[in-house]
Amino acid sequence: MTSMPESLESRVADRLRALRDGQLQRTLCPPRGIDFSSNDYLGLANDARLKHAMTRAVDQGGVGSTGSRLLRGDREAFADVERAFAAFKQTERALYFSSGYLANIAVLATLPERGDVIYSDEHNHASIIDGIRLSAAARVVFPHNDVEALARAMRDRPAGGQAFVVTESLFSMDGDVPPLAEYAALCTDRGAALIVDEAHAVGVYGDRGSGLIEASGIERDVCVSVNTAGKALGVSGAFVAGRAWAVDYLIQRARPFIFSTAPPPSLAAALEASLDIIMNEPERRSLLATRVMYLRNTLRRAAVPVPEGFTQIIPIVLGDNDRAVRAAGQLQARGFDVRAIRPPSVAPGTARLRIAVNVGLSDGTIDEFVDVLASTLRDTEQCFAASS
Which 3 state secondary structure label does DSSP give 370? helix
- Give me the catalytic one of 127, 169, 200, 219: 200
Residue 122 annotated to the active site: no
- Give me the catalytic one of 116, 123, 124, 125: 125
Number of C-beta neighbours around residue 52 at 10 A:
13
Amino acid letter for position 357: V
Which 3 state secondary structure label does DSSP give 322? helix
Residue 5, preceding peptide bond in cis (omega within 30° of 0): no
Instruction: Report which of 12, 132, 36 is spatially closest to residue 341, judged by C-alpha positions.
Output: 36
Q: Cα–Cα distances in Å, from 56 out to 43, 238, 359, 377?
A: 21, 22, 27, 47
Residue 168 annotated to the active site: yes
What's the full length of the chain, in residues? 388
Encode 161-173: b = buried (16+ Cβ within 10 Å), e = exposed: eebbbbbbbbbbb
Residue 384 CA to residue 381 CA, distance in Å, equals 5
- Give me the catalytic one of 168, 198, 214, 272: 168
Phi and psi at residue 77, to the nearest 5°: -60, -35
- Give me the catalytic one of 40, 197, 219, 272: 197
Residue 190 CA to residue 93 CA, distance in Å, equals 25
Residue 200 annotated to the active site: yes
Q: Are 195 and 166 in contact (CB under 8 A)?
A: yes
Residue 94 CA to residue 84 CA, distance in Å, equals 9
- Spatial neighbors of 136 by CB under 8 A, at least 6 apart, are 112, 113, 114
Burial of 1 (0-12, 13-18, 19+ CB in 10 A): exposed
- Spatial neighbors of 302 by CB under 8 A, at least 6 apart, are 370, 371, 373, 374
Residue 52 annotated to the active site: no
Residue 227 annotated to the active site: no
Residue 221 CA to residue 213 CA, distance in Å, equals 9
- Give me the catalytic one of 104, 120, 176, 231: 231
Residue 172 annotated to the active site: yes
DSSP string covering 153-209, please? HHHHSPS-S-EEEEEESS-TTT-----HHHHHHHHHHHTPEEEEE-TTTTTTSSSSS
Q: Which residues are catalytic?
A: 39, 125, 168, 172, 197, 200, 231
